[in-house]
């Protein structure tokens, strides 16, 4: 045998092996094969695109398009997708529980009549690739919950559960989807509402809703969501008629009102929409899903007639649907004072004419005071301000057109807050620098309220004036509350001056000794003082230092170093009493006055000289 013959035979052997391997892979395993043999039908549900049910004289045809099931015959409407999926699932798990061979059937011609399978009333046909034969349903068997079944191309008869029969033994109406629309609340981007009070339009921009008509204003996201949900969650009570005939008997000749939901911003590209018995392709304009609201049935007073255009039908819905006709712009307005997009917020500018300006800047998740050399700000206080502003609710919409700003003190506001994003360099989307996206101005006070407006909105509103009192206007008031951030053992030298001066130093053996002072040092009190001093926190910042803060004649001054060469020096001065058990304090290197708690002050002025133990009292004398 030459080498060419060897190569040819090897190639043939390899091809045969590959074919056999492929064939084996395609064959079901022994267990899977037994299961499939026991199934009434075997099919791939993804390839099934139609279902035909013949129930006596009524033929019901369902078709799947764009992953949605529709009834095509005898009516045209959306099918109940869950019901269809249940049917397919039941078919997949439908098992043979007994077999009567075709030979036995031929031997006794009356058996098909006996089983109700000679001219069965109920038939099921699946449409699609690799579909099984048509299934014929006969009578119920003597065994509970079982029935006789055969296929159109065979006389062989099987005993099987009645589950599939129960799925299909229905009138066409029972296959209709009682859910009004498959649109979800989250998919809706625009709403058009017509009511006896007028027309209103709402539009979603980003994550928030706005009123577009009859006025431009922010809408309450939750209330708009509730309004839309009344449509997207509505369930049909009665299937009344198609919408091609006279609609006057249903109060739909001239509907009381309508609501139209749009799934995108007014436009969709090449969207197929099935309306009644036709399919229309809308290239650009999305006509939306319109629900018209009509009259009340004579008998079912708890229901209301409606026409739903996308399904081309008249239904009844629960009477609660009429609530959409009561919606007014004032009901849907957002009563929150301001929306602040914290995802793009980088700067907050607080401008109080005559009192100064504060610029707070976000840096690495925290905040600094940008116009004070970026010293750390109290990030918790900044976040509290943002939350307070976003949660503040308008007490009154004073004017929808702010034509007389001086009347409300808003031509020259006494406080203005500007919220900005910030880019350090130019990009394709943004230019370098600060980009304001919202400015909030506060004007005159009126009783418990203060007038306010967002400069990009035409409205004047009133809010509780207590909000303004929560906004510090002095940059020093925004400083972080942590005064010192050391470890107690970092403090090397300590001097305390009150009515006298004491000074001590930490030795090489970590023991303290006097530089100025006498007596035994109380180590416990020294440690307590160091613990408080090294991690001292302010209760709050008062702002710019004033004479009444009492620093000209302080009651306590502490100077300490945090390096062995004593070059890193720090100084804390305690002045006059403030209020509510707090004390004015000032630290060298920081602007302004802050207050500390009474408990911290007590720790800072603990006696450092050990007190002698009280002498033991003489023992009582013996009794005479």
Among 43, 118, 138, which Cα is nearest to 87's? 43
User: In terms of DSSP bridges, do strands 190-195 and 396-399 run parallel, antiparallel, or are they unpaired?
Assistant: unpaired
User: pLDDT per residue over 186-233, tens digit each?
Assistant: 999 999 999 998 999 999 998 999 999 999 999 999 999 999 999 999
Residue 265 has pLDDT above 50, yes or no: no
pLDDT of residue 564: 85
Q: How many CB atoms lie within 10 A of CB 45?
A: 12
Q: Which long-range contacts (CB under 8 A, 24 or more apart) does 569-574 make?
A: 570/484, 572/483, 572/533, 572/536, 572/604, 574/601, 574/604
**pLDDT confidence tier of residue 416, bands split at 50, 70 and 90:** very high
Residue 437 has pLDDT above 90, yes or no: yes
Report, as an integer, the average pLDDT of 94-101: 92
Report, as an integer, the average pLDDT of 531-547: 96
pLDDT of residue 275: 45
How far is residue 464's CA from residue 324's CA, in Å, rounded to a whole number?
A: 32
Report, as an integer, the average pLDDT of 49-54: 95
Report, as an integer, the average pLDDT of 400-417: 92
Report, as an integer, the average pLDDT of 78-87: 94
Residue 10 has pLDDT above 80, yes or no: no
Residue 266 has pLDDT above 80, yes or no: no
Residue 1 has pLDDT above 60, yes or no: no
Report, as an integer, the average pLDDT of 407-435: 83
**Residues 60/61/65/68 CA torsion (nearest 10 deg):** 20
Q: How far is CA 367 from the centre of its chain?
A: 26
pLDDT of residue 403: 85
Q: What is the mean pLDDT of the chain?
A: 89
Residue 279 has pLDDT above 50, yes or no: no
Name the residue with tokens 């502490």.
558
User: In terms of DSSP bridges, do strands 415-423 and 460-464 run parallel, antiparallel, or are they unpaired?
Assistant: unpaired
The fold of 488-604 is Immunoglobulin-like (2.60.40)
pLDDT of residue 20: 54
Q: Extract the tokens encoding 63.
A: 């078709």
pLDDT of residue 533: 97
Report, as an integer, the average pLDDT of 506-520: 92
pLDDT of residue 572: 97
Q: How many CB atoms lie within 10 A of CB 310?
A: 20
> Rounded to 5, what percent of the chain is helix, strand, coil?
25, 35, 40
User: pLDDT per residue over 145-184, tens digit each?
Assistant: 999 999 998 889 999 999 999 999 999 999 999 999 999 9
pLDDT of residue 94: 95
Which of the pair, 462 or 276, is modelled with greater confidence?
Answer: 462
User: pLDDT per residue over 349-379, tens digit each?
Assistant: 999 998 889 999 999 889 999 999 999 999 9
Report, as an integer, the average pLDDT of 373-392: 95
How far is residue 119's CA from residue 134's CA, in Å, rounded to a whole number?
A: 13
Q: How many CB atoms lie within 10 A of CB 508?
A: 6
């Amino acid at each position: 045998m030459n080498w060419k013959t060897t190569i040819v035979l090897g190639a043939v052997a390899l091809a045969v092996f590959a074919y056999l391997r492929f064939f084996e892979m395609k064959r079901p395993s022994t267990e899977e094969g037994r299961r499939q043999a026991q199934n009434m039908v075997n099919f791939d549900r993804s390839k099934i695109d139609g279902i035909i049910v013949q129930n006596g004289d009524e033929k019901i045809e369902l078709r799947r398009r764009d992953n949605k099931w529709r009834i095509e015959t005898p009516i045209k409407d959306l099918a109940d997708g869950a019901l269809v999926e249940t049917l397919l699932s039941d078919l997949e798990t439908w098992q043979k529980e007994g077999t009567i061979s075709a030979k036995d059937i031929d031997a006794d011609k009356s058996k098909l009549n006996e089983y109700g399978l000679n001219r069965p009333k109920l038939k099921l046909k699946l449409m699609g690739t690799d579909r099984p034969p048509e299934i014929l349903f006969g009578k119920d068997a003597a065994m509970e919950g079982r029935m006789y079944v055969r296929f159109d191309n065979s006389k062989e008869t099987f005993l099987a559960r009645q589950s599939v029969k129960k799925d299909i033994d229905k009138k066409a109406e029972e296959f209709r989807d009682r859910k009004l629309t498959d649109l979800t609340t989250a998919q809706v981007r625009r709403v058009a509402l017509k009511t006896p009070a007028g027309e209103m339009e709402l539009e979603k921009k980003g994550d928030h809703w706005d009123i577009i008509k009859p006025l431009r204003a922010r809408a309450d996201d939750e209330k708009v969501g509730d309004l839309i949900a009344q449509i997207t969650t509505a369930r049909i009570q009665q299937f009344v008629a198609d919408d091609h005939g006279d609609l006057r008997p249903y109060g739909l000749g001239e509907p009381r009102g309508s609501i139209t939901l749009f799934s995108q911003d007014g436009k969709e590209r090449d969207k197929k929409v099935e309306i009644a018995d036709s399919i229309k392709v809308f290239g650009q304009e999305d006509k939306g899903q319109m629900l018209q609201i009509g009259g009340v049935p004579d008998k079912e007073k708890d229901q209301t007639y409606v026409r739903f255009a996308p399904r081309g039908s008249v239904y009844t819905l629960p009477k609660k649907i009429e609530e959409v006709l009561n919606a007014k712009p004032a009901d849907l307005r957002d009563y929150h004072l301001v929306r602040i997009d914290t995802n793009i917020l980088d700067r907050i500018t607080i401008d109080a004419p005559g009192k100064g300006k504060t610029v707070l800047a976000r840096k690495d998740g925290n905040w600094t005071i940008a116009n004070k050399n970026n010293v750390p700000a109290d990030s918790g206080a900044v976040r509290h301000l943002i939350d307070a502003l976003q949660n503040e609710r308008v007490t009154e919409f004073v004017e929808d057109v702010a034509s007389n700003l001086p009347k409300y003190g808003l031509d020259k506001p006494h406080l203005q807050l500007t919220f900005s994003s910030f880019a350090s360099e130019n990009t394709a989307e943004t230019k370098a620098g600060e980009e304001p996206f919202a400015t909030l101005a506060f004007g005159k006070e009126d009783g418990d309220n203060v007038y306010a407006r967002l400069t990009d909105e035409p409205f004047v509103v009133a809010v509780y004036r207590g909000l303004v009192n929560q906004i510090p206007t002095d940059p020093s008031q925004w400083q972080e509350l942590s005064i010192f951030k050391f470890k107690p053992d970092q403090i090397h030298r300590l001097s305390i001056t009150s009515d006298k001066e004491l000074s001590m130093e930490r030795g090489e053996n970590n023991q303290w000794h006097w530089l100025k002072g006498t007596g035994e040092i109380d180590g416990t009190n020294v440690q307590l003082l160091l613990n408080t001093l090294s991690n001292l926190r302010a209760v709050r910042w008062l702002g710019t230092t004033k004479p009444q803060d009492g620093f000209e004649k302080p009651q306590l001054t502490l100077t300490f170093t945090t390096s062995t060469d004593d070059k890193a020096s720090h100084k804390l001065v305690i002045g006059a009493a403030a209020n509510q058990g707090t004390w004015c304090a000032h630290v060298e290197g920081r602007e302004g006055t802050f207050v500390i708690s009474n408990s911290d002050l007590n720790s800072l002025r603990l006696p450092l000289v050990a007190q002698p133990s009280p002498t033991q009292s003489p023992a009582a004398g013996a009794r005479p």
